[in-house]
A = this chain, B = another copy of it.
Amino acid sequence: MKPTAHPDPERCRLVNDIIALVGDKWSVQVVMCLGGGQQRFTEIRRAVEGISQKMLTVTLRGLERDGYVQRTVHATIPPRVDYELTPLGYELLVPLKALGDWALTHYRRVAAARAAYDARALADAAE
Contacts and interface: CB of A to CB of B under 8 A. Distances in A.
A82 interface: no
A54 interface: no
Contacts of A65: 113-114, 117-118
Contacts of A11: 100, 104
Contacts of A15: 28-29, 32, 99-100, 103-104
A84 B33 CA distance: 35
Interface residues of A, number: 62
Interface in A5-21: 5-7, 9, 11-12, 14-21
A1 interface: yes
A24 interface: yes
Interface in A68-85: none
Nearest to A86: B113
Contacts of A58: none
Interface of A: 1-7, 9, 11-12, 14-25, 28-29, 32-33, 35-37, 47-49, 64-67, 87-88, 90-96, 98-104, 106-107, 109-110, 112-114, 116-118
8 contacts: A4-B35, A7-B35, A15-B104, A17-B107, A18-B99, A18-B102, A18-B103, A19-B23
